[in-house]
Amino acid sequence: MSAIIIYIIIGIAGGIIGGMGMGGGTLLIPLLTLFTSAEQHLAQSVNLIAFIPMSVVALGIHIKNKLVDFKYFWWISVPAVITSAIGAFFVKDVQSKVLKICFGAFLIALGVLQLIFIVVDIVKKYKKIKKNNQNDFSKGTNYVKIYKTIFLGEKYMQNTFKHGIHPDGKKYLSENAEIESFPDPQFVYIPVQQHSGPPSEPVVTIGEKVKAGQLIAKAQGRGCNVFASIAGVVKGIEKRPTATGKCDHIIIENDFSGDRQFFTKLVDPSREEIIERVTEAGIVGMGGAGFPVGAKLKTDNKIKTFIINGAECEPYITCDYRLMVEHPEEIIKGSLYLAKAVNAENVVIAVEDNKPKGIDSLNGVLSSGKYPNVEVRALKTKYPQGDAKKLIYSVTGYKISATRRSNEFGVLVNNIHTAFSVYTAIEGLPSYSRVMTVTGEAINNPKNLIVPNGTLFSDLIDFCGGNNGAVEIISGGPMTGFGVLSDKIATTKTTGCLLLLPRKEAWLDKPGPCINCGRCARACPSLLMPMYIDLYYKNGNLDLAEKYGALHCIECGSCAFVCPAKRPLVASIKQAKAKLKERSKKK
C-alpha cells in the first residue's frame, strides 16, 4: 500500500514538472530509481508510457488552437522513430548500472544546456529592456523593473501604463447598435476650422450650388480642406459658436438632389500618392486632437512601428468599437496605407481587452495570413489608455516626455477611425462625414451613426428619440469632452460622441476644500501631483505650478474624477498650462 502511495506521489511530482514544460519525464526516471526499488529499465518504460495519454490530450488542444506546425514533422520524426526503435531494442542488453550512468551523464548535459540557454536569454532580455527604457526621464537604469521582467515574466513589462483609473465603461448603452446612416438634414453648418491649425479659407460664394464632397474651404498653411457634406445651396457664411470657441461656418441648405462628387480611386498607390490624397481629402486625427494627418505623415524620422489606436478608453463612446466589428478589413487596409506612407515596418492595432468582439473581428481578418505585418495587441482596460503617449508606453515601453514627439522614437499613432477614413479616401471619398456615438442615460435611443459634418446636435438628438431630462450636453466623452451650452452646435470631423447626461450622472457638485488625500496623485498617469499644481496656480504662483509639472499634464481628467472633494483639478491645470504657454511666448 505504502508503495502505491509513493508511486502516486512521485508521479505527481514528475507530472507537475512536466506540466510546466521542464522535461518532467527526464526527472521522473531518477525520482523513481532513487526513491523506490524500481529498476532503471522499468523506470524508463513507465516514463514513456505515462507520457502518451497526457500528450495525446494536450496535442488535441494545441491542434485545435492551431499551434502545431506540421512542416517539421516528417524530417525529424522519421529518423527519430527509427533510431528510437533501435535504441529501445538494444537497451535490454545493457546493464542497469551502466544505463544509469549514461542517463546521469545525459541529465548533466541537459542541465548545463538549459543553464546556458537561461543565461543567454537573461542577457538578451536585459539588453532589450535597457534599450526600451533608455528614454526614461527619471535618470538611471530601473533595476527593479528589469529584475521583475526577467524573473516574473513579460506581463510586468508591457501592455499597460502606470496609474490611471477605472471609470464605469457605460458602453452597453450603444455597443450593440449597428452603425446607421443619419439622413441628410435640411441645413448643415460646416465650421471652417475642424482641426488644430489655422482656419481654412472659404472658396464658395453665397448662393452657389454645391455637391456633397465638393471643396468649400481651402487649407491654409498646415491646415486641412473642408468639403460640403450635403448637396445644396450655400446660404451664408457666419460666425457661430463651436464646442470650444467661435469660428466661421458655411451654411448649406439641402436641395435633396443627392449629387455627389468623388476623387478618383487610387489603385496600389505609392508613398507620395497616399500622402497627397490624405492631405487633399482633408483627413485629420479623428480621435479628438484633429491634427492634420497629411502633415503628420510628412515626417523625416525613420518610423518603425505604426500604432493604430483602438483603445477607446473613454466611457460611453463606441464608434471605434463598431467600426472594428463591422469594418475590420477596411481598418487594416487603411492602417497599411498609413504604414506605407511612412515606410513603417509593422502595424500594431492596440485595442483594450474590454472589446473582445472587436479583437476577434480584426484577428479574423488577419488569420487569412494576407497581412503578415499587422498585429492586434490587447491592452489592459484602463483610462487614459488611449492617450497617444500612454499608448506608446503600453505597446513599446518607450517613455516620451511632454517636450518630445513620438516620431523621434520611430513610432506614430493614429486612431482607428482615421485608418478607416484613409481607406475610404484612397477609394475616393473626401472626409466630410464620420461615425459618431449619440449616447448617455438621457437620450431615448442611443445610436452609432454616420453623420455628415455640420449637422446640428439638436437634429441628432431628435433622430435618437429625443432628450430625456439631460442637464449636461457634452461634445466628446465624459472625461475629455466639452460641455456645451446649447444644442445648436455643429458636428465636426473630430466629434466622436454626443453625450447627454441626466442629473444623476452629471458632475455639477460644488467643489469642497482639498483634504490632501493624495488620490489625485495616485491616479495621474503622468505621475504628477495635481493637488499642488491646483493649489499653486490658484495662489498665483505660476513658477511653482510649472515646477510641479503642469506642462506634463495630458488633460485626461483622471485626477478630477477620483477627487472626493470634487475639485475641478483639470480645469485649473488647463488654465495654468495656458498661462504658462502665454508667458513663454512673451519671453
* Alpha carbon separation from 92 to 34, 279, 424, 467, 580 (Å, rounded): 20, 78, 72, 86, 85
Q: How far apart are CA 546 and CA 536, in angstroms?
A: 9
**145 binding other proteins? (CB under 8 A):** no
**388 binding ligand SF4? (CB under 6 A):** no
Residues 6 or more apart whose Cβ sits within 8 Å of residue 580:
542, 545, 546, 550, 551
**277 binding ligand SF4? (CB under 6 A):** no
Interface with other proteins (CB under 8 A), residue from 2, 4, 168, 403: 4
How would you write 362-419 as a 3-class SS string? HHHHHCCCCCCCEEEEEECCCECCCCHHHHHHHHHCCCCCCCCCHHHHCEEEEEHHHH
Residue 81 or 402 with smaller CB distance to other proteins: 81
- Strands 433-439 vs 497-502: parallel, antiparallel or unpaired: parallel
**111 binding other proteins? (CB under 8 A):** yes
- Give min distance, CB of 264 to ligand SF4, in A: 44
- Give min distance, CB of 585 to ligand SF4, in A: 21
Given phi > 0 = left and psi -120 to 50 = alpha, else beta, which region is 193?
beta
**Which listed range, 81-89, 136-144, 174-182, 316-324, lies at the site for other proteins (CB under 8 A)?**
81-89
Vertex 289, ends 288 and 291: CA angle to 5°? 130
* Alpha carbon separation from 89 to 81, 85, 200 (Å, rounded): 12, 6, 85
**559 binding ligand SF4? (CB under 6 A):** yes
Residue 295 or 553 with smaller CB distance to ligand SF4: 553
**247 binding other proteins? (CB under 8 A):** no
**Sign (positive or negative) of CA dihedral 317, 323, 324, 330:** negative
**123 binding other proteins? (CB under 8 A):** no
* Residue 517, contacted partner among ligand SF4, other proteins, none, CB below 5-8 A by kind: ligand SF4
Q: How far apart are CA 524 and CA 427, in angstroms?
A: 41
**51 binding other proteins? (CB under 8 A):** yes
Interface with other proteins (CB under 8 A), residue from 35, 95, 121, 512: 121
**367 binding other proteins? (CB under 8 A):** no
**Which listed range, 233-241, 410-418, 424-432, 567-575, lies at the site for ligand SF4 (CB under 6 A)?**
567-575
Q: How far apart are CA 441 and CA 170, in angstroms?
A: 9
Residues binding other proteins: number (CB under 8 A): 100
Residue 49 or 485 with smaller CB distance to other proteins: 49
Q: Whole-angstrom distance between the N-terminal and C-terminal Cα of the chain?
A: 89
Q: How far apart are CA 180 and CA 435, in angstroms?
A: 9
- Give min distance, CB of 128 to other proteins, in A: 14
Helix extents (H) in 36-167: 40-64, 73-90, 96-132, 143-152
**451 binding ligand SF4? (CB under 6 A):** no
For 110-129, give one letter per residue: b (16+ CB within 10 A) or e.
eeeeeeeeeeeeeeeeeeeb
With CA atoms as reference, report the closest residue to 374 among 433, 430, 419: 419
Q: Rounded to the nearest 10 degrees, what angle do helices 356-366 and 319-326 cross at?
A: 30
- Give min distance, CB of 162 to ligand SF4, in A: 11
With CA atoms as reference, report the closest residue to 303 among 376, 384, 373: 373
Query: What part of residues 500-539 is at the interface with ligand SF4 (CB under 6 A)?
Result: 514-520, 523-526, 528, 530-531
* Residue 531, contacted partner among ligand SF4, other proteins, none, CB below 5-8 A by kind: ligand SF4
* Residue 33, contacted partner among ligand SF4, other proteins, none, CB below 5-8 A by kind: other proteins
**Which listed range, 230-238, 291-299, 391-399, 551-559, lies at the site for ligand SF4 (CB under 6 A)?**
551-559
**70 binding other proteins? (CB under 8 A):** yes
CB atoms within 10 A of CB 476: 23
**563 binding ligand SF4? (CB under 6 A):** yes
**143 binding other proteins? (CB under 8 A):** no
**402 binding ligand SF4? (CB under 6 A):** no
Strands in 246-254's sheet, in edge-to-edge order, are: 187-191, 246-254, 232-241, 209-210
With CA atoms as reference, report the closest residue to 499 among 554, 460, 555: 460
- Give min distance, CB of 2 to other proteins, in A: 12
Q: What share of the chain is helix, strand, coil (3-state, %, to 5)?
A: 45, 15, 40
- Give min distance, CB of 33 to other proteins, in A: 8
Residue 111 or 518 with smaller CB distance to ligand SF4: 518
Q: How far apart are CA 217 and CA 420, in angstroms?
A: 23
* Residue 143, contacted partner among other proteins, ligand SF4, none, CB below 5-8 A by kind: none
* Residue 515, contacted partner among ligand SF4, other proteins, none, CB below 5-8 A by kind: ligand SF4
**Sign (positive or negative) of CA dihedral 42, 43, 44, 45:** positive
Residue 106 or 172 with smaller CB distance to other proteins: 106
- Give min distance, CB of 145 to ligand SF4, in A: 21
Query: What part of residues 288-327 is at the interface with other proteins (CB under 8 A)?
Result: none
Interface with other proteins (CB under 8 A), residue from 21, 140, 369, 540: 21
**Which listed range, 31-39, 177-185, 202-210, 467-475, lies at the site for other proteins (CB under 8 A)?**
31-39
Q: Which residues bind ligand SF4 (CB under 6 A)?
A: 514-520, 523-526, 528, 530-531, 553-559, 562-565, 567, 569-570, 573
